[in-house]
Chains A and B, each alone.
Chain A
Amino acid sequence: MLTFGTGNKAVAMAVRDAKPVVVAAYPITPQTEIVEEIANFVTDGSLDARYIPVESEHSSMAACIGAAATGVRTFTATSSHGLVYMCEMLHMSAGARLPIVMANANRALGPGWNIGAEHSDSISMRDTGWLQVYVSTVQEAYDATVMAFRIAEHTDVLLPVMINLDGFLLTHITQTFETVEPGDFIPPTATPHAIDINNPGGYGTLTPGNTHFKFRHDIERGMQASVPVIVETEADFARRFGREYHLYEEYRCEDADVVIIAMGTLGKEMEVAVDILRDEGVAAGAIRMRWFRPFIVPDLDGKEVVVIDRDYSFGFGGVVANELQAKCGCKPFSVIAGLGGQEVTYDDIAEFVRIRCPGKEHWFGVDD
């Protein structure tokens, strides 16, 4: 069904259509509309779920853990300070191999107090064992949320999935989008280690050094297994519903000498920048990375690379730029841009390419 709404509304409608049994949530700007919409769906009966209005984000993830431990489908949403407040529970949920799905409205962390888009919140959760996908349109916010349940709950994966959408830039813009009826696209949740009264066990008990590492390695196995599951899920989604997604989205890359790489809404801006540069005779292309965990490296052999990070690891550099460098040996021109909702236009992105200097770092808008 064709409809119209914000990125937040699209996520909420996708959650409604995926039919979770428990939703536990705490409101935070700019995510609030997601949990308001879900509360409305539960109230008007269009979603038959238990909505738990918790007292904090730490508790929202805790409640999802408790519910998912019984083997039911769960969802929550958060942003920024809410996400870092639940950091401990992100480790717990992934470590317990619970397929919780969460939307995160990417937002800066204070101080100073700022509610604009920034990826520092989710990037700082990169080592929790959560899969992370970054979306760029309202339609993709809907589609990725539907697919997230199937990916998280796949028995080869059994890891939680975070759908990241840029605060305000995507959470609050309105676009036309199409909903689907997932039906058997999302199979019933089948958590093999769900609590079973008839077969009691200790979950998460003291685990000494001669076994703990095996559980850690199992998380990595799940992460590795998620790659074919994502590919298969996205292919099946395209077959059934006609919209195609890939691990990363390439734009005019076939003959490109220089590629721009970014995640989230900047990914769409890059495409316009590429067109501008092509008109100037620069063989530019763009790659929008969708999955940050697992980290899937595009083939960058023989190409110059400009990476735009809406995040920063202090004392180190732009995270995506550095991870690409570490994984594929390229020497990117690392641009730090868009922090805290700083405006970055396609003209600005084209300029990053014109002034590129391999191996160097450039903070957009900082003169010295």
Chain B
Amino acid sequence: MAIPDEEFLLKTTSACAGCPSSLILRYVTKAAGADTVLVIPACCTSVIQGVYPTTAMNIPVYNVAFASAAAVASGMSEAFRAEGRKTNVICYAGDGGTIDIGIQALSGALERGTDFLYICYDNEAYSNTGMQRSGATPLGAMTTTTPGGKKDQKKDLDAIVAAHNPVYQATACAAYPQDLYNKVEKALSIPGPKFMHVLAPCPPGWRFPSEKTIEMGKLAVKSGLWVLYERENGKLSITGASKAAMKKRIPVEDYLSVQGRFRKITAAETAEVQKTVEDTIARLQREVDGIC
């Protein structure tokens, strides 16, 4: 599917150099088109969209309280449908606003069958406020509130969402915009609750040079730490670059060692990360094969 030239996120925003979130947002909005409202809780995008009275967005953006995005979207979507409008309602929220404080509202909206698309762009920490630990922060990663490295595993958001049986669920990564675009376009063609989880490698937070955002995303996918897939009507399909990674992967060290945030990760923790990768891929492969 050809990506349109039209831009809904304008140039020269206040995003950090190499920001994956603004890259993702750019392709999400291209896929969604002009008849779209973004619902945004507190997150990096609160800053990226610009400061009153200016805006960097060419579609309406509704800023809402941290815990409330999916619930606001429920009301908005119901109101649009009641008025006979097909306007896309897209929650665009970070991992903190999704995995932690916003999970109740997300769960409620998915359970109620809200006609909306919820996109979690995951930079694996509270990046907007200077990189504190979130439930999405992976094992071994240093943040300002886990200065010795996080001792707990990343929360499995996708499994939590899958338990709600949304009509469409997908993962994506800032490093693969065509895959991301295709999934957003497909999601928005289906009525009902849709969810996408997009990995957003964050240069200042993950401590890598800002020109390496795409490279970092590709390493995440090639190591199998991030698997690109979609689940439509309960049927799982591996997509794009992850098809190769399901068969042959680079070691997780290749991904961890180039990021400053993993400077304190232990050998045992690295082995645990590798084991999690193998377990996840085996589980997803069983699902693809219809064995689960």
Query: Which A residues fall within an 8 A CB radius of B?
Result: 21-22, 24, 49-50, 52-56, 58-60, 62-72, 74, 88-89, 92, 195-197, 200-208, 211
Q: Complex formed: what's the CA distance from A200 to B53 in Å?
A: 13
Cβ-defined contact, B72 with A62, below 8 A: yes
CB-CB under 8 A from B74, the residues of chain A are 24, 52, 54, 59, 62-63, 66
Q: How far is the CB of A176 from chain B (nearest CB, A)?
A: 34
Contacting pair A66 B57 (CB below 8 A): no
Binding site for A on B (CB under 8 A): 34-37, 39, 46-47, 49-53, 55, 57-65, 67-68, 70-83, 87, 104-105, 107-108, 111-112
Q: Name B37's contact: one of A21, A67, A195 (CB within 8 Å).
A: A195
Bound-state Cα–Cα, A69 to B73, Å? 10
Provide the residues of chain B in CB contact with A205, threshold 8 Å.
46, 49-52, 55, 61, 63
Q: Name the prevailing secondary structure of the A interface residues.
A: mixed
Instruction: Name the residue among A197, A203, A205, A207 with the largest chain B CB count within 10 angstroms.
Output: A205
CB distance A202 to B55 under 8 Å? yes
Instruction: Please name the residue on chain A nearest to B67 by beta carbon.
Output: A58
Kindly report which residue of chain B lies nearest to residue A100, judged by CB atoms: B75
Please tell me which one of the listed residues A56, A197, A204 contacts residue B59 in the complex, with CB atoms under 8 A apart: A197
Going nearest first, the 3 A-B pairs with the smallest beta carbon separation are A66-B75, A55-B108, A63-B75
Q: Which residues of A contact B34 (CB under 8 A)?
A: 197
Q: Would you call A70 and B57 a contact (CB within 8 A)?
A: no
Across the interface, do A66 and B72 meet the contact criterion of CB distance under 8 Å? yes
Q: Shortest distance in angstroms between A19's beta carbon and chain B's nearest beta carbon?
A: 12
- Chosen A-B contacts, 11 in total, with CB atoms closer than 8 Å, are A22-B78, A55-B105, A58-B68, A59-B74, A64-B75, A65-B75, A68-B75, A201-B55, A202-B57, A205-B50, A206-B51
How far apart are B73's CB and chain A's nearest CB, in angstroms? 6
Interface contact B65-A202, CB-CB below 8 Å: no
Q: Which B residues lie within 8 Å of A203 (CB)?
A: 60-63
Contact indicator A74/B55 (Cβ below 8 Å): no
CA distance A196 to B47 in the complex (A): 22
How distant is A294 from chain B, measured CB to nearest CB, in Å? 25
In the bound complex, CA of A53 to CA of B65 (Å): 20
B64: contacting residue among A55, A56, A65, A74, CB under 8 A: A65
Selected contact of A53 from candidates B57, B75, B107, B112, CB within 8 Å:
B112
Q: How far is the CB of B77 from chain A (nearest CB, A)?
A: 8
Determine the distance from Cα of A21 to Cα of B81 in the docked complex, in whole angstroms: 10
Known contacts A66-B79, A74-B75, A204-B62: A56-B50 contact under CB 8 Å = no
- A21/B82 contact (C-beta < 8 A), A62-B64, A208-B52 known: yes
Contact A202 B79, beta carbon cutoff 8 Å:
no
Instruction: Check if B58 sits within 8 Å of A63, measured CB to CB.
Output: no
Given the complex of chains A and B, what is the CA–CA distance between A188 and B50 in angstroms?
Answer: 33
**Knowing A203-B61, A205-B63 touch, does A72 contact B79 (C-beta < 8 A)?**
yes
A102 → chain B, closest Cβ, in Å? 13
Q: Do residues A58 and B71 form an inter-chain contact, with CB atoms below 8 A?
A: yes
Docked pose: A68 CA to B28 CA in angstroms: 25
CA distance A360 to B106 in the complex (A): 51
Other than A58-B104, A69-B62, A88-B68, give 12 A-B pairs with Cβ distance below 8 A.
A50-B82, A52-B78, A55-B108, A59-B74, A59-B108, A62-B105, A65-B75, A66-B62, A66-B73, A66-B77, A72-B82, A200-B61
Contact in complex: A22, B82 (CB < 8 Å): yes
Contacts of B59 in A (CB 8 A): 197, 200
Tell me whether B60 and A197 are in contact (CB under 8 A).
Answer: yes
User: Nearest chain-B residue to A205 (Cβ)?
Assistant: B52
Known A22-B82, A62-B68, A62-B71: A69·B76 in contact at CB below 8 Å? yes
**In the complex, what distance in Å separates the CA atom of A17 from the CA atom of B273?**
59
- Chain A residues whose C-beta falls within 8 Å of the C-beta of B79 in the assembled complex: 21-22, 50, 66-72, 74
Residue from A54, A196, A206 in contact with B108 in the complex, judged by beta carbons closer than 8 Å? A54
Nearest Cβ distance between residue B87 and chain A, in whole angstroms?
A: 6
In the bound complex, residues from chain A placing their C-beta under 8 Å from that of B55 are: 200-202, 205
The reply to whether B63 and A204 form a contact with Cβ atoms under 8 Å apart is yes
CB neighbours (8 Å) of B60 from chain A are: 195-197, 200-203
Q: What are the residues of chain B within 8 A of A207 when measuring CB–CB? A: 51-52
- CB-nearest residue of chain A to B114: A52
How many angstroms from the CA of A200 to the CA of B60 in the assembled complex?
A: 4
- Rounded to whole angstroms, the CA-CA distance of A65 and B64 in the bound complex is 9
Give the chain A neighbours of B70 by CB distance below 8 A: 59
- Look across to chain B and name the residue whose beta carbon is closest to the beta carbon of A92: B65
CB atoms of B82 and A62 under 8 A apart: no
Complex contact B52–A211 (CB within 8 A): yes
Nearest residue (CB) in A for B107 is A55
B104: chain A residues at CB < 8 Å are: 55-56, 58-59
* CB closest residue in chain B, given A73: B79
A63 to chain B: which residues have CB within 8 Å?
Answer: 71-72, 74-75, 78
Given A55-B105, A92-B65, A195-B60, A202 and B75 contact (CB-CB distance below 8 Å): no
Q: Which of A50, A71, A88, A202: most chain B CB closer than 10 A?
A: A202
A133 to chain B, nearest CB (A): 24
CB pair B81–A50 under 8 Å, yes or no, is yes
B108–A204 contact, CB under 8 A?
Answer: no
List residues of chain B with CB within 8 A of the CB of A65: 64, 68, 72, 75
Name the CB-closest residue of B to A53.
B112
Q: Are A89 and B65 in contact (CB under 8 A)?
A: yes
Say how far A201's CB is from chain B's closest CB, in angstroms. 6
Least CB distance, A16 to chain B, in whole angstroms = 16
Q: Are B65 and A21 in contact (CB under 8 A)?
A: no
Distance between A158 CB and nearest chain B CB, rounded to angstroms: 16
